[in-house]
């Protein structure tokens, strides 16, 4: 009897040791994402009256000013070591998915937390990670108003600026509240990946989101970081630059004509500095997505005109800016080439516009799988146009809606973004209350009523 118990004990110990060994081998497996790197953008065109949002309730889906053209599962520890990530998308909206994504995805990079804007540089002390099952917020902005006296001056552009933009002061207040309310920036690739199916075709799979306990995920995007000509004349900066310290800054010309390079005049440097001061506001070094068009170049550089005497220098300068942006946690998306309404234009025109963006913009920023619809006007229910975009490598499609929305299929990921602008601050403060205090954020320099 004792001999039998002894044998049973040895067997149990052996099985336990074997399980630990297998777990360690899996833990050490090399990582590898099938997800292409993504890159950034901008917007130009008229405001849409409704939109492409999926979770709509009659709210407007603004774009830009018209221009010339907790779970009970065991916790994990954040570290630099990779670990397998289960694949499920958390969302407040039920995820309608046709995919049969496995419960775990071998080779997916594991979670880690960094202390600065440079992903993977120096990790913070180990932080418990738990599966997140709530909604994923996605907020988008346009470039900041730095000189309110130019934006809200009563001219023909004043109403658009009142409706679709926020000031630098308002953005800083919003950041403070988002941080105080427990939000943490994540990258889009924390939610999904792309792999090859049995027929050698690309297939989207979803991931389980693991976050520091008590944190809520936030994706931030910025449309129209092209700094169009109309923006330069109405209170925005001129372009992004790499300053003397090797960091991204905003180059502006103030109302008196003085040239200024600063880190407090654009979303990118403001957020970079905020994350440096509050490293727990960024998960794995993520910052935001810059959604770019191409018809007036990108990031303030007129890379759209090969006949320009500054064309080659503009390309060289913008490539340096792009490199630094990517190195510090920023990514990019297509916002179409000409800020076209994908729903209204023909399939042929959509193809022409997309191909031109891929020819002129992608070589400067690198491949991206993210397509952010101008005007929030989606083609999710138009299979021909959607396939056209998918065939060109796009796998994530973002429109506009009043509440979080996330859906996955084998072919793509669909997401709504909330517009954060003057209209949202003044008309929907109660809806924004869980995120930030809209009344407190309002800049005294903003007119008390719409122009």
Please enumerate in sequence order all residues whose Cβ is within 8 A of that of 148, keeping only pairs 6 or more positions apart, or say none.
167, 235, 443, 445, 446
Is the whole model's pTM more than 0.85, yes or no? no
Q: Set out the domains of the chain in order of their start, with CATH numbers.
A: 32-441 (3.20.20.370)
18 has a pLDDT exceeding 90: no
- Share the mean pLDDT of the chain: 81
* pLDDT of 116 strictly over 90: no
Assess whether pLDDT exceeds 60 at residue 196: yes
pLDDT value of position 125 = 55
Of the ranges 49-58, 150-159, 316-325, which one carries the lowest mean pLDDT score?
Answer: 49-58
- pLDDT for 358 equals 98
Q: What pLDDT was estimated at residue 263? A: 98
Split at pLDDT 50, 70, 90, the class of 54 is confident
State the pLDDT confidence band at 124, using cuts at 50, 70 and 90: very low
Q: Which residue has the higher pLDDT, 67 or 413?
A: 413
Q: Which of 87-96, 161-170, 265-274, 426-435 has the lowest mean pLDDT?
A: 87-96
Tens of pLDDT, residues 276-334: 999 999 999 999 999 999 999 999 999 999 999 999 999 999 999 999 999 999 999 99
């Amino acid at each position: 009897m004792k001999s039998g118990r002894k044998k049973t004990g040895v067997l149990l110990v052996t099985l336990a040791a074997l399980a630990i060994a297998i777990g360690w081998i899996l833990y050490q497996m090399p990582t590898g994402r099938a997800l292409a790197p993504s890159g950034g953008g901008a917007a130009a065109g008229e405001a849409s009256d409704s939109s492409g949002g999926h979770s709509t309730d009659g709210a407007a889906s603004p774009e830009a000013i018209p221009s010339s053209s907790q779970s009970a599962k065991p916790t994990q520890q954040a570290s630099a070591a990779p670990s397998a990530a289960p694949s499920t998308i958390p969302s407040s909206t039920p995820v309608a998915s046709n995919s049969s994504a496995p419960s775990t995805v071998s080779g997916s990079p594991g979670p880690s937390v960094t202390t600065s804007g440079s992903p993977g540089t120096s990790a913070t002390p180990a932080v418990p990670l738990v599966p997140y099952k709530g909604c994923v917020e996605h907020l988008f902005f346009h470039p900041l108003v730095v000189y309110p006296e130019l934006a809200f001056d009563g001219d023909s552009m004043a109403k658009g600026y009142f409706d679709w933009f926020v000031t630098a002061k308002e953005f800083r207040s919003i950041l403070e509240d988002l941080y105080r309310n427990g939000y943490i920036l994540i990258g889009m690739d924390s939610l999904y990946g792309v792999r090859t199916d049995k027929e050698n075709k690309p297939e989207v799979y979803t991931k389980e989101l693991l976050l520091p306990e008590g944190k809520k995920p936030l994706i931030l995007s910025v449309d129209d970081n092209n700094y169009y000509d109309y923006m330069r004349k109405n209170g925005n900066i001129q372009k992004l630059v790499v300053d003397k310290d090797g960091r991204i800054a905003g180059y502006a010309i103030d109302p008196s004509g003085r040239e200024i390079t600063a880190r407090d005049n654009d979303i990118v440097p403001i957020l970079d500095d905020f994350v440096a001061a509050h490293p727990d506001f960024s998960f794995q070094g993520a910052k935001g997505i810059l959604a770019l068009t191409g018809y007036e170049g990108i990031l303030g550089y007129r890379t759209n005109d090969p006949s320009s005497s500054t064309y080659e220098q503009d390309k060289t300068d913008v490539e340096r800016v792009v490199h630094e942006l990517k190195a510090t946690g920023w990514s990019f998306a297509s916002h179409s080439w000409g800020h076209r309404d994908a729903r209204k234009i023909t399939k042929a025109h959509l193809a022409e516009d997309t191909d031109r963006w891929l020819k002129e913009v992608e070589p400067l920023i690198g491949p991206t799988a993210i397509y952010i619809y101008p005007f929030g006007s989606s083609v999710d229910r138009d299979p021909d146009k959607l396939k056209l975009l998918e065939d060109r490598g796009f796998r994530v499609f973002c429109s506009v809606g009043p509440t979080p929305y996330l859906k996955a299929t084998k072919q793509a990921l669909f997401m709504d973004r909330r517009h954060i602008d003057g209209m949202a601050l003044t008309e929907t403060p109660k809806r924004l209350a869980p995120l930030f205090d809209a009344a407190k954020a309002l800049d005294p320099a903003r007119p008390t009523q719409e122009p």
